[in-house]
């Protein structure tokens, strides 16, 4: 990476959005906690630096500061909200409590020309922005001038054009800020002079080169779950090391209908990737016997998955590296200034593999967001239907069967889920929905089918839309569609006589990932 922006995280809930907006501009960037030292900052090779917002007050003792090296790099620096305030304090200005807090939409007025607002707003022009602050800048450091104001923020935007230091009290990264994209584009492309030519094709080549350098002559094993993340990881590593990669598909017996066969046909038949199919459904059913709590199910599946994966690895003669589809949001979460975590997801969301396996990680996707992984999948030649498939939880159908799990229940749910997804595809709705699935409820209902009385299971259907995968809304199906789906499921799936649709919205952070 020859051109990149360093984003220093002060704990803002919007920090990831800064990275997303820059990636949309084809500018590569990385988020790191504001606690990194001067040596890291100097060695990063940034073409520009952005200081994020944060929940703290710069007036509090011990509140975070930017590494001093940031202001000696000779590259443009943009402070956002808290980032503006700490920049002012560290460069000789002051911050004071605001008499009026600003949370939500506010209107700014441009009072001085600056390249930061070029093409977005003229002097005297006004625009809506998103504010989230209580304190405000009290005195500017030497060299700075006010370029925009708001009713509660006399220093809504500031600039030191000589050093190319800029600060905004608002958040240009959120979509509520009307000119936010223009400001970030001006900062990166005009002021910093970055080319904005980062592409997925370039990333592919760089990732393959890094994998070859890391792995050398070693052997790699990859847990291929059938999800997009593991599939793209497998194809990248295979491109880099060829036959020295072996993929292992642990067939838990809890996959979607025909999913194992589809994965095998694609990777063995189309891409010629070495693949071991570990059929372990009986072991997983034994581990789930009598287990009804959803979290207990996850842990039981996790332990069993590790045992099966470890046994397959040993049977193959072991490996030096484990390829894993860790994504950038997982990395950010693990190093976030708000609360570091030692847990990085595995493909199966079960806590990763134990240290006894003694393999080093290969994580070629750790710099990408989910939509970028899909773009890379298309670059690698994955079929569109595979790239765009809905997320599926690692524990599989076990967490979509409420209560205890049995082979009969799994078979019923597989069929119902397949009918639901088939109907969605037939109606041309699949790509408009983030995730759709069926849930087997722990109740039986009395019904009449033909001339006979039935006592069978009830299935619930859920479909949600999402922009970022962190919050979701129920998809607004037309009643006619739901009626047809319910009729199909009752008629085609033996063991179900009632269907309900869950039209509530999921709370933030509860979408089941691959």
Per the CB < 8 A criterion, the answer to whether 234 and 273 are in contact is: yes
Q: To which residue do tokens 């708001």 refer?
A: 150
Question: 211: which 2 tokens?
Answer: 């994998």
How far apart are the C-alpha atoms of 64 and 167, rounded to whole Å? 17
Catalytic residue among 173, 239, 312, 514: 173
Per the CB < 8 A criterion, the answer to whether 386 and 347 are in contact is: no
How far apart are the C-alpha atoms of 399 and 292, rounded to whole Å? 9
Which residue, 402, 406, 434, 442, is CA-closest to 510?
434
- Residues 356-395 as b or e (16 or more Cβ within 10 Å = b): ebebeebbbbbbbbbebbbbbbebbebeeebbebbbbbbb
Per the CB < 8 A criterion, the answer to whether 169 and 154 are in contact is: no
- Residues 454-470 as b or e (16 or more Cβ within 10 Å = b): bebbbbbbbbbbeebbe
How is residue 253 annotated by DSSP? S
**158 phi and psi, to 5 degrees?**
-135, 160
**50 phi and psi, to 5 degrees?**
-120, 130
Which residue, 139, 82, 146, is CA-closest to 114?
146
Catalytic residue among 133, 171, 238, 348: 171
> What is the four-CA torsion angle of 277, 283, 288, 290, rounded to 10 degrees?
150
How far apart are the C-alpha atoms of 72 and 80, rounded to whole Å? 19
CA atoms within 13 A on the CB side of 112: 15
**Helices 228-241 and 200-215: angle between axes, nearest 10 degrees:** 60
Residue 375 among the catalytic residues: no
Helix ranges, 318-433 (H): 328-335, 370-379, 384-387, 407-426
How far apart are the C-alpha atoms of 422 and 5, rounded to whole Å? 44
Residue 379 among the catalytic residues: no
Catalytic residue among 3, 29, 34, 81: 81
Residue 81 among the catalytic residues: yes
How far apart are the C-alpha atoms of 169 and 113, rounded to whole Å? 17
Measured in residues, the chain has a length of 514
Which residue, 14, 12, 18, is CA-closest to 48?
18
Measure Cα distances from 226 to 140, 270, 299 in Å: 55, 15, 20
Residue numbers annotated as active site: 81, 171, 173
């Amino acid at each position: 990476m020859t051109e990149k922006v360093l984003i220093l995280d002060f704990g803002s809930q919007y920090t990831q959005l800064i990275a997303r907006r820059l990636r949309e501009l084809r500018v590569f960037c990385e988020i790191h906690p504001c606690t990194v030292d001067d040596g890291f900052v100097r060695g990063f090779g940034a073409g520009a630096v952005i200081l994020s917002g944060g929940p703290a007050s710069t007036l509090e003792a011990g509140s975070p500061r930017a590494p001093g090296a940031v202001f000696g790099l000779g590259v443009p620096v943009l402070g956002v909200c808290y980032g503006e305030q700490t920049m002012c304090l560290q460069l000789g200005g002051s911050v004071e409590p605001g008499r009026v807090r600003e949370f939500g939409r506010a209107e700014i007025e441009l009072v001085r020309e600056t390249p930061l607002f070029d093409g977005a707003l003229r002097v005297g022009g006004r625009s809506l922005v998103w504010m989230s602050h209580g304190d405000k800048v009290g005195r500017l450091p030497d060299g700075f001038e006010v370029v925009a104001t708001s009713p509660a923020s006399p220093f809504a935007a500031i600039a030191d054009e000589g050093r190319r230091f800029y600060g905004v009290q608002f958040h240009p990264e959120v979509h509520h800020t009307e000119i936010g994209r223009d400001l970030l584009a001006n900062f990166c492309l005009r002021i910093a002079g970055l080319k904005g030519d980062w592409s997925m094709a370039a990333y592919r080549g760089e990732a393959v080169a890094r994998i070859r350098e890391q792995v050398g002559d070693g052997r790699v094993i990859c847990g291929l779950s059938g999800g997009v993340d593991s599939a793209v990881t497998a194809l990248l590593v295979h491109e880099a090391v060829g036959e020295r990669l072996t993929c292992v598909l642990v067939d838990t017996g809890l996959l979607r209908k025909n999913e194992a066969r589809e994965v095998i046909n694609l990777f063995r038949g189309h891409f010629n990737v070495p693949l071991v199919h570990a059929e372990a459904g009986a072991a997983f059913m034994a581990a789930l016997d009598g287990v009804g709590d959803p979290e207990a199910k996850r842990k039981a599946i996790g332990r069993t998955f590790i045992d099966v994966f470890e046994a397959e690895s040993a049977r193959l003669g072991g490996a030096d590296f484990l390829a894993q589809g860790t994504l950038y949001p997982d990395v950010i979460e693990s190093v976030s200034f708000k609360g570091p975590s030692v847990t990085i997801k595995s493909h199966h969301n079960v806590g990763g593999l134990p240290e006894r396996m003694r393999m080093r990680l290969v994580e070629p996707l750790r710099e990408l967001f989910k939509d970028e992984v899909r773009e890379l999948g298309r670059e690698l030649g994955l079929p569109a239907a595979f790239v765009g498939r809905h997320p599926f939880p690692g524990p599989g159908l076990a967490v979509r069967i409420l209560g205890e799990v049995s082979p009969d229940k799994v078979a019923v749910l597989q069929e119902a889920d397949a009918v639901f997804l088939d109907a969605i595809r037939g109606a041309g709705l699949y790509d408009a929905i983030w995730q759709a699935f069926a849930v087997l409820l722990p109740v039986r209902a009395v019904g009449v089918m033909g001339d006979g009385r039935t006592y069978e299971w009830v299935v619930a259907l859920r479909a949600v839309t999402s922009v970022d995968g962190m919050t979701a809304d129920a998809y607004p199906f037309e009643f006619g569609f739901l009626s047809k789906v319910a009729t199909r499921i009752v008629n085609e799936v033996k063991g179900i006589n009632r269907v309900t649709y869950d039209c509530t919205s999921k709370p933030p952070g509860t979408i089941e990932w691959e």
